[in-house]
Structure 1
Amino acid sequence: MVEKVKIGWKEYEIKLLEPQQTLKTGSGECYGEIFYDEKVIHINKAYDAEQQEATLIHEVLHGIEDMYSLELGEETVTRLAKAIYTFLKDNNLEIKHS
């Protein structure tokens, strides 16, 4: 997993967290979460590398949404994240690891 990503002028630190450190939703554990002011993205360590990468893309899309004042909404972000992740995998493009 990469350690940092840059979205616009903000550089976000990526933190892999144990499940007990992640926020819970009504339906269970979150895969990840982005904190705009703190410039940090939390990724739940409980899931495999592919889910972590897909989650990173999802949270980065939220960061882009925030940085550029887009109004995508959760459903659109989820669909775009799945599409981008699938595109990267299907074309043997990878998210570089540090």
Structure 2
Amino acid sequence: AVKRIYQMAGVDDGQFQNEFTNLARLKHRNIVRLVGYCNHIQEVPAMYEGKFVLAEKIHRALCLEYMSNGSLQKYISGMNVINMIGAQATE
């Protein structure tokens, strides 16, 4: 699965790399494994003090382990609360 990351104010490339490394090291049966990431910098024209300049637009995405049972959101949204409780009882 791929999760796009939007606008991380105050997070530079070094901090992002450190966070990725820390998350990639996590290993637990209830945590989706982080497989990789993409970091693309695009130059886009932007108006600055009345002049057009090139600004960097950063696109980032995390690549996560595929989970065949779907997202956690469907279980916590109330639709499948009974199924989730039943699954916990069988573990």
TM-score by length of 2: 0.22
Which is greater in Rg? 2
Choose between structure 1 and 2 for higher RCO, CA contacts under 8 A separated by at least 6 residues.
2
